[in-house]
Structure 1
Amino acid sequence: MNTSSQQTTRLYHTPLSPFSRKVRLVLAEKKIEVELVEERYWENNSELLRRNPAGMVPVLRHDGRLMSESQAICEYLDETVPQPALMPKSPAERYEVRRLCAWFDDKFNREVTRPILEERVWKKITRSGHPDSRAVKAGLKAIKDHIDYLTSLLETRRWLAGSALSLADFTAAAHFSCLDYISDVDWDRSEILTSWYATIKSRPAFRGILADQIPGIHPAPHYAELDFG
């Protein structure tokens, strides 16, 4: 690999961002070497705004190009580095993968990931107030319905979107791993979902995620354990 600053693949990310983790997992699964640069996006960083006018992570510098939006990045990587494939061949199967990616990045994030992390993590990191217990309780209540829905999918499928591992699984795992870091997933609610997560968590691509350490916020004791069910 050309190690010049122009050619180094670099990911501007935040460790406990599910969108950053989603891209990290795809990069690792594709065995693309990447330099991780942590962004404190809440500090109104002018450099981040230059890289992405939306002021959001992740931003990937790859082949001299700056790219934002996790779903677009992941599909770009899957098309340019086709093996192992994370998008199915048929339009109907690709639709189902994209539907589930959107489910997590929109609905699950809005109802579960964002409110829980905002109250339990980001307020502490940014020193922006005390956690709102009502928001946390609402997120913990909502995740039960999501777990039940995913369980119903896995009762008839090997992976979330079908018979093969796909971007849908990495998107889901990115969100669950952020919540699992602070022990906010009730794995006892679904044996089949726990088995799915244990399987994907055991992949080499997950090693970097499991090594994350957030200053001042310790991971749950089982967070990095592969046999945690």
Structure 2
Amino acid sequence: MSTDRPAPPANALYHYPLSPFSRKVRLTLAEKKIEVKLIEERYWEQDPDFIRRNPAGKVPILKLGSRVLADSVAICEYLEEAHPTPALMPNTPEGRYEVRRLIAWFDDKFYHEVTTKLVGERVFRKVMGTGYPDSGNVKSGSRAIKYHLDYMAQLLESRRWLAGNEMSLADFAAAAHLSCLDYISDVDWNRSDVVKDWYAKIKSRPAFRSLLADQVSGFPQPQHYADLDF
């Protein structure tokens, strides 16, 4: 009896469903119509094969043929350069700066102030078996998200999309984090009509469909999560 492992798919994304960094790459791949096999990776278990693919021990990891790519920002910029249509970066230095600034805002400031405090405490502590949620962190995240939603509203009052008048990777970065929080009903969509309208617009894109189909064991989807009309 053969013990050979099946060959890995030519194109694959090693991800975790409620990783906002994985979701950002999934949105980018889907928008550019690049098909990949999704392989769920429990990255905190630090499987040796996984570590060989990315010594940093983080998701996502994108495999395209013989090429293995890590780090969500680097992956998205690679995809933008290798597959420029449809464009997800502006064609001016000023526009690209604003997109990169906002990606950093969500992947750093928002992630540490909100995502880790809410998704991290409510979901990942249980999934990883690291104990019960820290109520102080949850309260901190619940306060911080109000500030971030208000900041998004401020941007969207004068722009069609977060970084300007065209949809960009900045919108995918923000939507990736907010969709994780929406999965656990931690976004007050009534706080800002303009932010709610922005999310409804991006949520209704075909690229978003696989995110709306996600199921995390032990955490059933809230009823509104996959509803395009909330």
What is the TM-score when the length of structure 2 is the normalising length? 0.96
What SS is found at the alignment partner of 1:67? strand
Distance (whole Å) between structure 1 residues aligned to residue 140 and residue 117 of structure 2: 8
Distance (whole Å) between structure 1 residues aligned to residue 73 and residue 141 of structure 2: 23
Flag the 1:220–1:7 CA change in 2: closer, same or farther, 3 A: closer
- Kept in 2, the 8 Å contact 1:7–1:62? The answer is no
Number of the residue aligned with 1:74 = 76
Write out per-residue CA displacement over residues 147-183 of structure 1, whole angstroms, 9 at most, x where no aligned residue.
0111000000000000100000011000000000000
- Kept in 2, the 8 Å contact 1:6–1:63? The answer is no
What SS is found at the alignment partner of 1:188? coil
Number of the residue aligned with 1:90 = 92
Number of the residue aligned with 2:13 = 11
| Paired residues for 1:67-146 under 5 Å | 67-146=69-148
| Paired residues for 1:197-208 under 5 Å | 197-208=199-210
Deviation at 1:90, TM superposition (A): 0.3
Write out per-residue CA displacement over residues 19-78 of structure 1, whole angstroms, 9 at most, x where no aligned residue.
000000000000001001110111121111100000000000113111110011001001
AA paired with 1:21?
R
Distance (whole Å) between structure 2 residues aligned to residue 7 and residue 125 of structure 1: 27
- Supply the RMSD in Å over aligned alpha carbons: 1.2
The percent of aligned pairs where both chains have the same amino acid is 63
Distance (whole Å) between structure 1 residues aligned to residue 33 and residue 108 of structure 2: 28
Deviation at 1:7, TM superposition (A): 7.0
Distance (whole Å) between structure 1 residues aligned to residue 125 and residue 7 of structure 2: 34
- Kept in 1, the 8 Å contact 2:9–2:37? The answer is no
AA paired with 2:197?
S
Distance (whole Å) between structure 1 residues aligned to residue 55 and residue 135 of structure 2: 33
Number of the residue aligned with 2:27 = 25
What SS is found at the alignment partner of 2:190? helix
Return the match for 1:178 from 140, 155, 180. Answer: 180
- Kept in 1, the 8 Å contact 2:28–2:172? The answer is yes
Structure 2 residue 160 is matched with structure 1 residue 158: yes
Write out per-residue CA displacement over residues 82-103 of structure 1, whole angstroms, 9 at most, x where no aligned residue.
1100001000000000000000
AA paired with 1:217?
F
AA paired with 2:17?
P
Deviation at 1:115, TM superposition (A): 1.6
Deviation at 1:6, TM superposition (A): 7.3
Distance (whole Å) between structure 2 residues aligned to residue 139 and residue 153 of structure 1: 21
- Kept in 1, the 8 Å contact 2:80–2:89? The answer is yes
- Kept in 2, the 8 Å contact 1:104–1:172? The answer is yes
AA paired with 2:220?
H
Extract structure 1 runs of 4+ deviating beyond 2 A. 4-7
Deviation at 1:114, TM superposition (A): 1.2
How many residues align? The count is: 225
